[in-house]
Chain A
Amino acid sequence: APSLFAATPRTSKNNYRLAQVYLHKYYTRKGGHQVGEMVARGSNSIVKKIKELQAFFGLQVTGKLDRSTMDMIKKPRCGVPDVAN
């Protein structure tokens, strides 16, 4: 987690959870991890999805939940995934 955040522990935990749900919803291909699956923090899979999100939205691809990435994650949006489903 520290590698993913620069925020305070509480904020970072909330943001991490928010990001995890978002990435599961919109960046998990069919047959991917089911919701509620425990993913080790900072695992390859999460970092990979963060990079995919950052690339799709034209953000700097860092693999980290930086400010601009979290801002994008918090925007109201369509429920259809951004990756092929």
Chain B
Amino acid sequence: YRLFPGEPKWKKNTLTYRIAKYTPSMTSADVDKAIEMALQAWSSAVPLNFVKINSGVADIMISFETGDHGDSYPFDGPRGTLAHAFAPGEGLGGDTHFDNAEKWTMGTNGFNLFTVAAHEFGHALGLAHSADPSALMYPTYKYRHPYGFHLPKDDVKGIQALYGPRKMFPGKPTVPNVPPHNPTIPDLCDSSSSFDAVTTLGKELLLFKDRIFWRRQVHLMAGIRPSTITSSFPQLMSNVDAAYEVAERGTAYFFKGPHYWITRGFQMQGPPRTIYDFGFPRYVQRIDAAVYLKDAQKTLFFVGDEYYSYDERKMKMEKDYPKNTEEEFSGVNGQIDAAVELNGYIYFFSGPKTYKYDIEKEDVVSVLKSGSWIGC
């Protein structure tokens, strides 16, 4: 791998990006998706988060341009030069341009946008071209399949030389989104583990951990079976941070870093959106847990040792939040990893313990082992 002279890099770990101009050869939704996945290829290897904005100036301004487009690097029509990007820095730094004269595609009948965008974002983050033909940062085009994409070793070494590896969050281990070919099933029965996220989905209860989730009936222990997250939620890949369902709407929400997805059952409803839609302050970059309270029609979001309350009817965050979790929910200790409401109780998952909290009595009525939910 190679870095640019002077090794320019971003000094912050949350970068904004904006797609200022689209291309007629793909739908906007497909462009959004390809760009999102191309950025995720890098954020799975280093501690960088990317937040999409739809107005104003972003760190990484993305656009499809034709010919001479004002940056003294004119495009040359079909084939030849496909795209370029500028090294990290103010103004033009990080900006990424695609040649609109090319036929862009999500597949292989043209130039695959995910493939080219993933390469260009390597430049936007500080990598120059690599002489390793297997590297993503090799200068010439070679199709890469977006789903199940693994960042080649040379590129991982290069980007981590600039930003270091993606750290493990205390209590919420995150590992690069490089799903192994046969993800091992985490041993939830050992006492130290907890779940990443828990939600109802229709008549089922889904419990997420690393790259696996368990499906079970809400009230029955029978028929619990693990599946890979990618098998049912390809976009989520692994390490879901939080999830909740608004049953009366038939919609569920899945959170990962600063993004969330809406589903109807297992069907994703469009591309990822940013958590700032809910009204979170910008310094919140991820959610630890979420739970919808049916009677109150409010969703509680847990971040660190605090929580927010979102009014689902008014579709806005309530005032006077965040509040301290332990002060409001007496008897619930430690950071909340996951939460779900069932039959008037909120189940708070914190490490190997699950606190059964009676909403009426406003107190914990029992403490269970988290692993017991999947038959341990």
B81 within 8 Å of A (CB atoms): yes
Per the bound structure, the CA–CA distance linking A72 and B73 in Å amounts to 21
Q: Contacts A56-B131, A75-B140; is A80 near B123 (CB within 8 Å)?
A: yes
Q: List B residues 35-82 near A (Cβ within 8 Å).
A: 73, 75, 79-82
B120 within 8 Å of A (CB atoms): yes
B116: A residues at CB distance < 8 A = 78
B84: A residues at CB distance < 8 A = 78-80
Task: Assess the A77–B82 pair: CB atoms within 8 A.
Answer: yes
Q: How far is the CB of A42 from chain B (nearest CB, A)?
A: 24
Task: Assess the A80–B128 pair: CB atoms within 8 A.
Answer: yes
Per the bound structure, the CA–CA distance linking A77 and B75 in Å amounts to 12
Q: How far is the CB of A85 from chain B (nearest CB, A)?
A: 8
B75: A residues at CB distance < 8 A = 79
A79: B residues at CB distance < 8 A = 73, 75, 81-84, 99
Within 8 Å by CB of B129, from A25, A75, A82, lies A82
Q: List A residues 54-85 near B (Cβ within 8 Å).
A: 56-58, 72, 75-80, 82, 84
Task: Assess the A58–B131 pair: CB atoms within 8 A.
Answer: yes
Q: Mark A30-65, 1 if CB is under 8 A from B, else 0.
A: 000000000000000000000000001110000000
A5 within 8 Å of B (CB atoms): no
Task: Assess the B140–A72 pair: CB atoms within 8 A.
Answer: yes
Q: Mark B282-322, 1 if CB is under 8 A from A, else 0.
A: 00000000000000000000000000000000000000000
- The residue of chain A having its C-beta at the shortest distance from the C-beta of B133 within the complex is A58
Per the bound structure, the CA–CA distance linking A33 and B83 in Å amounts to 22
Task: Assess the B81–A57 pair: CB atoms within 8 A.
Answer: no
B99: A residues at CB distance < 8 A = 79
- The residue of chain B having its C-beta at the shortest distance from the C-beta of A30 within the complex is B5
A25: B residues at CB distance < 8 A = 81
Q: Mark B128-162, 1 if CB is under 8 A from A, else 0.
A: 11010100000111000000000000000000000
Q: How far is the CB of B361 from chain A (nearest CB, A)?
A: 63
Task: Assess the B140–A80 pair: CB atoms within 8 A.
Answer: no
A16 within 8 Å of B (CB atoms): no
A72: B residues at CB distance < 8 A = 140
Task: Assess the A76–B119 pair: CB atoms within 8 A.
Answer: no
Task: Assess the A76–B141 pair: CB atoms within 8 A.
Answer: yes
- The residue of chain A having its C-beta at the shortest distance from the C-beta of B137 within the complex is A78
B280 within 8 Å of A (CB atoms): no
B207 within 8 Å of A (CB atoms): no
B278 within 8 Å of A (CB atoms): no
Q: How far is the CB of B85 from chain A (nearest CB, A)?
A: 7
B22: A residues at CB distance < 8 A = none
Q: List B residues 63-122 near A (Cβ within 8 Å).
A: 73, 75, 79-85, 99, 102, 111, 116, 119-120
Within 8 Å by CB of A82, from B4, B73, B81, B139, lies B139
Task: Assess the B131–A57 pair: CB atoms within 8 A.
Answer: yes
Q: What are 24 A-B pairs at a CB distance below 8 A?
A: A25-B81, A72-B140, A76-B82, A76-B111, A76-B141, A77-B81, A77-B139, A77-B140, A77-B141, A78-B83, A78-B116, A78-B119, A78-B123, A78-B129, A78-B139, A79-B75, A79-B82, A79-B83, A79-B84, A80-B85, A80-B129, A80-B139, A84-B4, A84-B5
B residues bordering A, Cβ < 8 Å?
A: 4-5, 73, 75, 79-85, 99, 102, 111, 116, 119-120, 123, 128-129, 131, 133, 139-141
For the complex with contacts A26-B139, A78-B83, A78-B123, 16 further pairs of A-B residues with Cβ separation under 8 Å are A25-B81, A56-B129, A56-B131, A58-B131, A58-B133, A72-B140, A75-B141, A78-B81, A78-B116, A78-B129, A78-B140, A79-B73, A79-B99, A80-B84, A82-B129, A84-B128
